[in-house]
């Protein structure tokens, strides 16, 4: 069953965050991930939320967790954490 990393992000330091974001596509692809959404224009229809959304599809939850827990991702994660406020989940789906 496919799994998705879904992140809702409020960028607080655009320059630093760009350094993180520029490395994520190739790294996710290394673990079989495919970006379905990476920021982009949005329309807030209900509630409130951050300005940036990301959805990455993986073949299964184990692959998504391997990506997130990898040494390579852990190396760049502190950049994201210091340059944004965000929540991130791994969700199984179709």
**Tens-of-pLDDT digits for all 94 residues of the chain?**
999 999 999 999 999 999 999 999 999 999 999 999 998 888 989 998 898 999 999 999 999 999 999 999 999 999 999 999 999 999 999 8
This prediction's pTM: 0.92
Query: What domains, with CATH codes, occur in the chain?
Result: 3-42+49-92 (3.30.70.100)
Nearest to 60 by CA among 16, 22, 92, 20: 92
User: Residues of the chain with pLDDT > 90: what percent?
Assistant: 89
CB 5 within 8 A of CB 27: no
User: Residues of the chain with pLDDT > 70: what percent?
Assistant: 100
């Amino acid at each position: 069953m496919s799994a998705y990393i879904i992140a809702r992000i409020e960028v607080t330091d655009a320059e630093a965050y760009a350094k993180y974001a520029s490395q994520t596509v190739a790294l996710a692809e290394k673990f079989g991930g495919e970006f379905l959404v990476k920021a982009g224009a949005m329309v807030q229809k209900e509630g409130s939320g951050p300005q940036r959304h990301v959805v990455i599809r993986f073949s299964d939850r184990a692959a998504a967790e391997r990506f997130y827990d990898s040494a390579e991702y852990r190396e760049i994660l502190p950049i994201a954490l210091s340059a944004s406020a965000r929540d991130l989940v791994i969700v199984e789906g179709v």
